[in-house]
Amino acid sequence: MNNDKQATRDLTREAFEFLQTGDHVKVVFGALKKLHISKQNPFYEDMVQEGMIAFTEKYVQAKGMDKSTKEYLAYINQGVYWTLINYLHKQLTPLDHIEPASDDGDPLLEMPDRTVTTETLEINALANDFKRLLNPNELQYYTLRLDYGFNVSEIAKHCHVSRKTVYRWRQGVHDKLKNKLN
């Protein structure tokens, strides 16, 4: 068992060394660029770290598959990209959960919330289902517009993009909603 742990550590160390050699770190920054994540984005630093960790994890997985260098670089690149998409999605998706009741003994707190109806639950379920169809930028637009009430200018400023880009995101959301309703 000690040999397995040592082998895993050695392979992880090899993965970090491989990341730092040549231009392999560009895989992480290329994925960020593809996702339009600039240094001004509040998630930038965290996403760089997540990308580097994903790189090493995918490297270890690729080594186990006995692929050629070119093949596992493509595998790592795709893995880093999808890991960063998942990270961004988690950051932009509000937590949907029910607060636990407090233990202060007030029976009124045990009463169901009358504002939560079957209709609102169905609408929330449809909205969550629809969010899964959106790409990260469209999801960011959707969240900032509906959940926070930002207008196009505010979204552009918040995301450090042009208003034209925000209009393009909005059009993507509208097109996907139209397709979903038809």
Query: Per-residue pLDDT tens for 2-29?
Result: 777 887 788 888 887 888 887 888 888 8
pLDDT-wise least confident of 81-90, 101-110, 150-159, 165-174: 101-110
**For position 108, what pLDDT does the model report?**
53
In this prediction, residue 126 carries a pLDDT of 74
The answer to the question of residue 110 being in a domain is no
Range of the domain at 131: 116-181
pLDDT at 167: 92
Which of 27, 60, 92 terminates a domain? The answer is 92
Confidence band of 137 (pLDDT split at 50, 70, 90): very high
Whether residue 144 is contained in a domain is answered as yes
Q: Are residues 78 and 124 in the same domain?
A: no
Domain count across the chain: 2
Alpha carbon distance 62, 57 (integer Å): 9
- Within this chain, do residues 86 and 9 fall inside the same structural domain, yes or no? yes
User: pLDDT, tens digit, for every residue of 22-78?
Assistant: 788 888 888 888 888 888 888 888 888 888 888 888 888 887 777 677 777 888 888
Q: What is the rounded distance in angstroms from the CA atom of residue 40 to the CA atom of residue 14? A: 32
